[in-house]
Structure 1
Amino acid sequence: MQGTLMFFCIYLQFPSRTLFLAACAAGIGGTFQYGYNISVINAPTKPIQHFINETWVQRHGAPISEHHLTLLWSVIVSVFTLGGFLGASLGGTLSIRFGRKGTLLLNNAFSLLATVFMGLSYPTRTFELLIAGRFLVGLNAGIGICVQPLYLGEISPKAYRGVMAMGTSIFITGGIFTGQVIGLRELLGKEDYWPILLSTICIPAILQLIFLPWFPESPRYLLIDKGDRNKCKEALKQLYGSGGFQAEEEDMERERTELIGVKPMRPWQLFSDRSLRWQLTTIIFLCAAQQLNGINAIYFYANYVFTRAGIPEDKIPYVTIGTGACECLTALTCGMLVDSLGRRILIIGGYSLMTLWCIIITLSLTYQDYAPWVPYISMSCIFAFILSFGLGPGGVTNILITELFTQSSRPAAYVTGGSINWLGFFLVGMFFPFIVMGLQQYCFLVFLGVCCLVATYIYFVVPETKNKTFLEIKQEFQSHYGKQKSDKSNQGRSSALLRSTDM
């Protein structure tokens, strides 16, 4: 009930129903798939391992060794991240060639093909199809998590850019929560249902193919990249209404004038452009911190803490769903606050609170046996950490990627940030268990350092971006750090434009 109320409150913040529905249509086949495929693979772990063993016996006449079974399962799980890394690398290029909406629609082909592969794996007794399907699912998620925020950030008016961009986080957490619920034994979590469970990824893809074509392409892409004023004006009318787009059109026209003759940048060109050095450093910091801030450790320790708190083992999946619901509610709450409180206070506050919870949970895990009530402190810290992550870093990071770059560099920035995010996801999946085994509960001291460092960096380096145009944000970075454009011809052209404006 509370989540429905928050969702309704966010709906009321939108300037038009069309804009709200466009965000939903983009999200259901975009970052929802990312969150859903992270969580849905957890429920059928044992049934899939049993299927692999049965297939191995049929092929080789003997059971598979424990080592090979663990290796194959690790490949099935981790190949998702490799597909995501490739998808994030391709997302920017595809969004330039086919448009933001066009890329999202084409991206569903990977999800539908993955559905076929994973659905056929059981009847054909071919577990290799699971590996291929998970790779395609990762490819779909990588492109979606790169292009969907790009689309949402570009179709939103300046005053509503925060709540629109929060759609990325809301659909990620909604996907995680939905995957946890669908994976319950009462639904599709039974042993014989796992092929159906993994094939449900086709549903969001089909929904997006049905609904997204009704909504326009990004107006900024149409005007700045394609130079089509008529289609841009039609898109703005459809999104904002007949009289609510003049200011946005003027802002886009100024940005188009600023970028005349400038081609879309490639990811490697970001590193050689001195005028974008601090924006790029900020994105690298934030995207790396998304994986290294301790949120994975919280979920890793959740079952252990819940068990120590006296929760029966058969009830733990339902408590785990509570963590997913908690993160989903905080994403909705952040969506309501981001355009009123601003980006800086949410992300700095979120990382500061996470630093505090890292200290408390380290102490509570160290002294678990000191008193019967200590495990309950650990359990409370888990929910508090998730709340702090969802209110700040979980949602605001994607907003900043959109706002710190202009049209020519934004796709490359999403490719760079997405690649770092997926690479961090893969490395954490590979090495995190060893870190926990070596440091045990003291691993949270490492995450404490990461959270504290990022909060300090944001405080001293990143300005508030609320209610500012993309050009204003760019100029504020240049004025603060005195960076000149790397391309001298662009600098000369901008000076000429200023002189002509003065005349």
Structure 2
Amino acid sequence: MPAGAAEQDNGKASSSKTLALTVCSAAIGGTFQYGYNLSIINSPTSYIQMFINDTYTERSGSSLATTHVTLVWTLIVSAFSLGGLLGALLAGPMAVRLGRKNSLLFNNLFLFLGGLFFLLCRVARSFEMIILARFLVGINSGVSMNIQPMYFGESAPKHLRGAVAFSSAGFTALGIFSGQVVGLTEVLGTEPLWHYLLASNMLPGLIQVLTLPWFPESPRYLLIDKGDKEACVRALERLRGGVAPTSEMKEMLEEQQMYTNSKSTGAAKTPWSLFKDPDLRFQLRTVMMASSSMMLCGNDSIYSYASYIFLQANIPADKIQYATIGTGASELTASILSNLLIERVGRKCLLVGGYALMSCWSIVFTVALTLQKQGFEGMPYLSMACVFAYILSFGLGPAGVTGVLPAEIFDQSARPAAYMVAGSLMWLSLLLVGMIFPFMVKGLGNFCLLPFFAVCLLSAVLLGITFPETKGKSLAEITAKFDKKNGRIREPGEERGGGG
């Protein structure tokens, strides 16, 4: 058997236990936390609002108006997105200075401090501590949402790169589902226990702190950023379950040479540098479009709207919490399916196909709501089916592929800054949709999902036209495809000056 074929078989056989455990350890305290904290806040909504009003009454002797309670509640919810935005901005410098693994470990400080505020807020009679805690937990999620996919993309072998990076979305969905289960009234979703529910996010963080130090750092970071070839080889051997593949080392050494050459000509290491580099125009445009669309498509708002739909379907109010768990289960199922498909059908098919399906379901959903208002039987159940189908379509493509893109289409010097841009746009878009969606429901009524239809359709068309398939491609091959779009023709052997 030829050496190359034997090495490839070796690589495929080494679905290394170390790699799998590294993924689990990083993700349980990473994107799992984003999904978990996104969902656990829904169950205790009424209890927290009562706590806000009671606390204010104890201080001033008069109760808050309903609108003021709603305003404070909005601050609690929005603090998570604002913290996420700050976390996304911190992620780039942290990834460069501390490394991928150490950044994830250090990131737990924000989580533990936030959890402590959750635990003490009732004793201190302070709803302000909840706002601060949500802000700190948001920082934790913002950092992990950027650094974890970077860590995975740099640690996985090429034939598993998409599936490993896609696991970030799978753990997000698992976090959402777990948060919904823990928030049940039979678990922690009760008035005496709601602060323990909010602080329960410390447990996954503790698991990460106890396990992640035992696993290797990103080989690419060790070689390219730190210049430590021996540490890179050791990490690669552990992640591949044996001898470091020579072809993979050769590819990383070539990237290291590109990185070394680019440092002398001004490497694109800051977001501003990325915007100024004409060689990265289409890469940056693709990442910005995909990251914005992921939140502007309204998937998180669909989660919030699900309870109303289930109520309209005549499901008893005390059973709605169980039906809502189905939304988290839908995305979890889709993420598992996507993990199996991403290396078979490719990134572009899943990304464009997901948005195309979502645009179709939003139209069916609008029609079902309109007919439901006119008294047609069975329409609430069709609306319910659309909720699940919309979330399934989102989990099938956009939820996972979006996080893979910066790791695949930018080089080592540009990757942290690209994740800063992508993460900032994601959190800004989440904040925007969260603030305007209630007004959309009130103003547009049955047609409230039409803006999301426009976003999904436009995203499917534009990404279908501009995004080249990256499945199984090396960084040099991906760069060559984008060079054509950027109008850049390189001479043989010419090195890249910017990054990407």
Please tell me the TM-score bracket, short chain as reference: over 0.9
Q: 2-side partners of 1:495 and 1:323: how far apart?
A: 50
Which amino acid is 1:75 matched to?
A: L
- The CA deviation at 1:496 is 7.7
Q: Does 1:405 align with 2:404?
A: no
Q: Does 1:422 align with 2:448?
A: no
Q: Secondary structure at the match of 1:259?
A: helix
Preserved CA contact (<8 Å) 1:406 1:474? no
Q: 2-side partners of 1:223 and 1:246: how far apart?
A: 14
- The CA deviation at 1:236 is 0.2
Structure 1 residue runs without a partner (length 5+): 1-11, 485-490, 498-503
Q: 2-side partners of 1:298 and 1:202: how far apart?
A: 27
Which amino acid is 1:400 matched to?
A: L
Q: 2-side partners of 1:198 and 1:376: how far apart?
A: 32
Q: 2-side partners of 1:475 and 1:343: how far apart?
A: 18
Preserved CA contact (<8 Å) 1:285 1:454? yes
1:3 is aligned to none
Q: 1-side partners of 2:242 and 2:303: how far apart?
A: 47
Q: 2-side partners of 1:496 and 1:386: how far apart?
A: 43
Q: Does 1:464 align with 2:437?
A: no
Deviations 1:249-274 (A, max 9, x none): 11101111112142461011110001
* Alignment partner of 1:342 out of 339, 346, 350: 346
Preserved CA contact (<8 Å) 2:177 2:325? yes
- The residue correspondences of 1:76-225 to structure 2 (distance < 5 A) are 76-225=76-225
Q: 1-side partners of 2:332 and 2:455: how far apart?
A: 24
* Alignment partner of 2:377 out of 372, 375, 399: 372
Q: 2-side partners of 1:123 and 1:294: how far apart?
A: 37
Q: Does 1:234 align with 2:206?
A: no
Which amino acid is 1:415 matched to?
A: M
Q: 2-side partners of 1:13 and 1:342: how far apart?
A: 21
Q: 1-side partners of 2:494 and 2:14: how far apart?
A: 38
Deviations 1:61-103 (A, max 9, x none): 2222223222211111111111110000010111000000010
Q: Secondary structure at the match of 1:260?
A: helix
- The CA deviation at 1:245 is 2.3
Q: Secondary structure at the match of 2:129?
A: helix
- The CA deviation at 1:299 is 2.3
Q: 2-side partners of 1:465 and 1:288: how far apart?
A: 20
Q: 1-side partners of 2:400 and 2:494: how far apart?
A: 37
1:275 is aligned to 279
1:312 is aligned to 316
1:439 is aligned to 444
1:453 is aligned to 458
**Structure 1 residues 496 and 272 mapped into 2: Cα distance closer, same or farther (>3 Å)?**
closer
Q: Secondary structure at the match of 2:448?
A: helix
- The CA deviation at 1:294 is 3.0
Q: 1-side partners of 2:14 and 2:272: how far apart?
A: 36
2:494 is aligned to 495
Preserved CA contact (<8 Å) 1:284 1:417? yes
Preserved CA contact (<8 Å) 1:14 1:20? no
Q: Secondary structure at the match of 1:271?
A: helix
Q: Secondary structure at the match of 2:276?
A: coil
Q: 2-side partners of 1:13 and 1:63: how far apart?
A: 65
Preserved CA contact (<8 Å) 1:406 1:471? no
**Structure 1 residues 465 and 246 mapped into 2: Cα distance closer, same or farther (>3 Å)?**
same
2:60 is aligned to 60
* Alignment partner of 2:297 out of 293, 297, 313: 293
Q: 2-side partners of 1:84 and 1:144: how far apart?
A: 9
**Structure 1 residues 443 and 63 mapped into 2: Cα distance closer, same or farther (>3 Å)?**
closer
Which amino acid is 1:42 matched to?
A: N
The share of aligned pairs that are identical, in percent, is 47
1:384 is aligned to 389
Preserved CA contact (<8 Å) 2:233 2:244? no
Deviations 1:429-449 (A, max 9, x none): 111111221112213222222
Deviations 1:350-404 (A, max 9, x none): 1111111111111111110342112211111111111111111111111122111
* Alignment partner of 2:401 out of 375, 385, 396: 396
Q: 1-side partners of 2:183 and 2:473: how far apart?
A: 43
- The CA deviation at 1:58 is 1.8
Q: 1-side partners of 2:375 and 2:47: how far apart?
A: 38
Q: 1-side partners of 2:232 and 2:350: how far apart?
A: 33
Which amino acid is 1:329 matched to?
A: T
- The CA deviation at 1:493 is 12
1:487 is aligned to none
Q: What's the Cα RMSD here?
A: 1.8
- The CA deviation at 1:420 is 0.3
- The residue correspondences of 1:24-63 to structure 2 (distance < 5 A) are 24-63=24-63
Q: Secondary structure at the match of 2:123?
A: coil
- The CA deviation at 1:195 is 1.4
